[in-house]
Amino acid sequence: MSEMGAVEARKDGVAAVDRALSVLGALAGKEEPSTLAELARATGLYKSTILRLAASLEEAGYLARLPDGRYGLGGSAFRLGLSYERQNPLRQHVLPVLQDLVERGTESASFHIRHGAGTRLCLFRVNSHHSTLDRVEAGAILPLDRGAAGRVLASPDPSAPRGGHAPGTPFVALSRGERDTSCAGMATAVFGPGGLVGALSLSGPGDRFTEEAVARMAGALTEAAARLTRELGGSGARAAAAG
């Protein structure tokens, strides 16, 4: 649908909000600021529309125009992210579990949730104590069809995701080089009262995912997932499947 068609399909106020959010979403998915042309390609909006939206977003502090003319997220977006992190009820449960995993000598620990139809969001992350790490940060948006965490989140039965899994543990998805050829990861499901909440994962350089390391980390991961499932109110059966 053309931009004008999208306008006609919605009330003006809603359409304007949708457009502004699409601009912020495009910037949030980039590693560096974007030009006007790049934003137009990413959002499908006319440059003139983006300029009008940018003026309002900049005034509110959600967007910043740099001296070179490119656009980046502003301070209000940063504060919004901090507020989300403070108010998210998962934080108080998930972060201690991630930190405990890393203290037990695992690879970097992360918690992922679905983000739209084809992507996932790394909601929380604690880096391992190893000097070499994989390149994932909290807030990163990653593909749903690649990586162990993506496989868990996309599976019709997250307690037994399809594809490769850790030996003897069909509920722990194992991936090697799917998203990054030099990295590997493993993940398992965490459940709440309403079903799947997210995927708990461990990831790092592939050469450290030896058979012995995978077996050791799979045990720690399933114990952690079972603990989280219990804390979040998941059923006993789900906790047993997780751990």
What pLDDT, in 10s, does the model give residues 181-239?
Answer: 999 999 999 999 888 999 999 999 999 999 999 999 999 999 999 999 999 988 644 55
Same-domain status, 179 and 131: yes
Domain that includes residue 32, residue range: 3-79
Same-domain status, 67 and 96: no
Same-domain status, 99 and 211: yes
Same-domain status, 128 and 18: no
Q: Looking at 37, 54, 79, which one is the last position of a domain?
A: 79
Q: What is the 3-state secondary structure (H, E, C) of 72-139?
A: EECHHHHHHHHHHHHHCCCHHHHHHHHHHHHHCCCCEEEEEEEECCCEEEEEEEECCCCCCCCCCCCC
- Whether the CB-CB separation of 64 and 58 falls below 8 Å is answered with yes
CA 178 to each of CA 13, 27, 141, 168: distance values in angstroms, whole numbers, following the listed order: 42, 25, 15, 21
- Whether the CB-CB separation of 177 and 185 falls below 8 Å is answered with no
> Is the overall model pTM greater than 0.85, yes or no?
no
Q: How far apart are CA 77 and CA 125, in angstroms?
A: 20
pLDDT tens for 88-143 read 778 889 999 999 999 999 999 999 999 988 999 999 999 999 888 888 899 899 99
Residue 44 has pLDDT above 80, yes or no: yes
Same-domain status, 51 and 118: no
